[in-house]
């Protein structure tokens, strides 16, 4: 999308955030919402800093992700104020003068030293809901001014509503999906060329035009058995011999918004593992189609267990009906994580368990502790759908020692174990009608580009 398109969508986004802020402040009994962008963190006993990560409550308002020491002040009925730190600094690149589609909507005050912010923050600190981390306080953590108080009533409201993306945010996520799928295609090509995990990851970063500190999470680039480690991030320097399979879970960022995409490939396109990938892919598409208003996300998770258990049976791994596999925990041995999560400003977006915008928690179903979203879907919610089927030694050993050991065929498991596992992950937006699959849309658009393989 073009900058003009973003400029057209942005005012409605800002208006919605101002409406949410006004209601959140009312509920908390405050006059101002104050949001520090955050500060640089240092390694223990060292003067080396960690990569700066912006406060998500800050980047929700405007696409600034590299500006430590800045502040936002939202006062209902007034133009939002941005206190923008452009420090005197010859060690680092100083943030450039603000520009872009959002600038005209803010009163911008440039400061040169971090503590000058005090002159431009509201007079009465006690009337402020301040959202951020303790070390954003101006001065010492303990005695500093404008130390974040993170009022629960304010956060409950904002976090709950963060789930509903504005059209501007959907475009941002679309932008992330475009660069993410471009990088995924490059990674697949590197895999097909026989590269190592390390080199596939380099190919991914080159195509994404992003380095590790910009990506929304650590890339999972796993060949063969490594696909069975859910968050495998080792990046082996040498390719195994033979290469059988490839699982890649990797995203990109776009103006602070994330994408989160997983694909699995096999070298033998006529083999059983490829057939299993195709079966998971077909089941995943049906799950994506369940992302509809009024559907309980927990239902999608439990249906995914039944679908995976059905695939296990079709491939001669499980000997029991899918309902039995779900009931006695066999499906969880092979699918030991949640079906997905909310996504947007954070790869695992906040508010996944929120019962209402006044707090409360919707519990996970018994036996499914890793599900990160238990809400009922509604238009505007963006979620991932990421079923998996893995051969994890630790979980298989427990199954073998337990009362359901005879419910599976161990010879069949031994045949699939060298392939690690399968995960297929898309990002899907719930609408008033059919779901919008940002990932499939971006893969299709990329394939249609001139020169696409």
Using CB under 6 A as the criterion, which residues of the chain lie in contact with ligand GLY when the complex forms?
217, 249, 260, 386, 425
- Residue 216 CB, nearest approach to Mn ion (Å): 9
- Nearer to ligand GLY by C-beta: 198 or 217? 217
Residue with tokens 């947007």: 344
Q: Which is nearer to ligand GLY, 50 or 370 (CB)?
A: 370
The whole-angstrom separation of Cα 357 and Cα 368 is 24
Backbone angles phi and psi of 21, in degrees to 5: -65, -40
Q: Hey, which bits of 86-231 come out as E strands? A: 107-111, 128-130, 220-223
CB of 260 to ligand GLY, least distance (A): 5
- Per partner kind, with CB cut-offs from 5 to 8 A, the member of ligand GLY, Mn ion, none near residue 217 is ligand GLY
Taking CB positions, which residue lies at the least distance from ligand GLY?
Answer: 249
**Partner from Mn ion, ligand GLY, none binding residue 374, C-beta < 5-8 Å depending on class:** none
For residue 260, the minimal CB distance to Mn ion (Å) is 4
Of 150 and 233, the one with the shorter C-beta distance to ligand GLY is: 233
CB nearer to ligand GLY: pick between 171 and 425: 425
Q: Taking CB positions, which residue lies at the least distance from Mn ion?
A: 249
Closest separation between CB of residue 342 and ligand GLY, Å? 11
Contact 153, 28 (CB under 8 A): yes
Instruction: Work out the number of other CB atoms within 10 angstroms of the CB of residue 400.
Output: 13
> Closer to Mn ion at the Cβ: 331 or 384?
384
* Binding partner of 171, given Mn ion, ligand GLY, none, CB within 5-8 angstroms per partner class: none
Q: Tell me the closest approach of the beta carbon of residue 179 to Mn ion, in angstroms.
A: 15
Q: What is the DSSP letter of 262?
A: E
Query: Contact residues for Mn ion (CB under 5 A)?
Result: 249, 260, 262, 384, 425
Start-to-end CA span in the chain (Å): 23
Strand order of the β-sheet with 436-437 is 382-385, 426-429, 436-437
Q: Is residue 389 within 8 Å of 311, Cβ to Cβ?
A: yes
Q: What's the min distance (Å) between Cβ of 298 and ligand GLY?
A: 17
By CB neighbour count within 10 A (0-12 exposed, 13-18 middle, 19+ buried), where does 39 fall?
A: middle
């Amino acid at each position: 999308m073009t900058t003009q398109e973003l400029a057209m969508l942005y005012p409605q986004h800002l208006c919605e955030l101002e409406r949410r802020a006004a209601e959140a402040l009312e509920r908390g009994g405050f006059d101002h919402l104050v949001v520090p962008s955050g500060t640089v963190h240092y390694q223990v006993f060292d003067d080396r800093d960690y990569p700066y990560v912006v406060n998500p409550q800050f980047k929700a308002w405007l696409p600034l992700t590299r500006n430590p020491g800045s502040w936002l002040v939202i006062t209902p009925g007034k133009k939002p104020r941005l206190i923008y730190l452009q420090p005197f600094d010859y060690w680092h690149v100083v943030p450039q003068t603000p520009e872009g589609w959002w600038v005209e909507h803010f009163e911008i005050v440039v400061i040169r030293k971090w503590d000058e912010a005090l002159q431009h923050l509201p007079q009465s600190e006690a009337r402020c809901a301040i959202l951020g981390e303790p070390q954003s306080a101006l001065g010492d953590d303990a005695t500093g001014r404008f130390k974040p108080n993170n009022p629960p009533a304010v956060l409950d409201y904002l976090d709950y509503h963060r789930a509903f993306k504005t059209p501007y945010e959907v475009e941002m996520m679309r932008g992330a999906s475009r660069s993410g799928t471009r990088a995924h295609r490059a990674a697949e090509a590197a895999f097909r060329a026989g590269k190592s995990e390390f080199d596939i990851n380099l190919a991914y970063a080159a195509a994404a035009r992003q380095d590790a500190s910009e990506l929304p999470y650590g890339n999972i680039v796993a060949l063969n058995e490594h696909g069975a480690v859910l968050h495998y991030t080792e990046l082996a320097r040498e390719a195994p011999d033979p290469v059988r399979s490839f699982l890649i879970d990797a995203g990109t960022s776009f103006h602070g918004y994330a994408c989160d995409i997983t694909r699995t490939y096999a070298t033998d396109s006529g083999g059983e593992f490829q057939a299993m990938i195709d079966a998971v892919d077909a089941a995943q598409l049906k799950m994506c189609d369940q992302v509809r208003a009024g559907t309980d996300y927990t239902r999608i998770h439990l249906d995914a267990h039944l679908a995976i258990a059905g695939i296990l049976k079709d491939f001669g791994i499980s000997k029991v009906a899918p309902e039995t596999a779900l009931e006695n925990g066999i499906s969880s041995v092979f699918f030991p994580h949640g079906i997905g999560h909310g996504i947007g400003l954070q790869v695992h977006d906040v508010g996944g368990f929120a019962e209402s915008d006044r707090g409360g928690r919707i519990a996970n179903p018994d036996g499914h502790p890793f599900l990160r979203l238990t809400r009922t879907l509604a238009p505007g919610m963006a979620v991932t759908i990421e079923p998996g089927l893995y051969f994890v030694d630790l979980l298989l050993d427990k199954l073998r020692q337990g009362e359901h050991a005879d419910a599976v065929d161990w010879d069949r498991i031994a045949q699939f174990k060298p392939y690690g596992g399968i995960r297929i992950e898309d990002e899907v937006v719930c609408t008033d009608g059919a779901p919008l699959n940002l990932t499939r849309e971006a893969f299709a658009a990329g394939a249609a580009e001139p020169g696409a393989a």
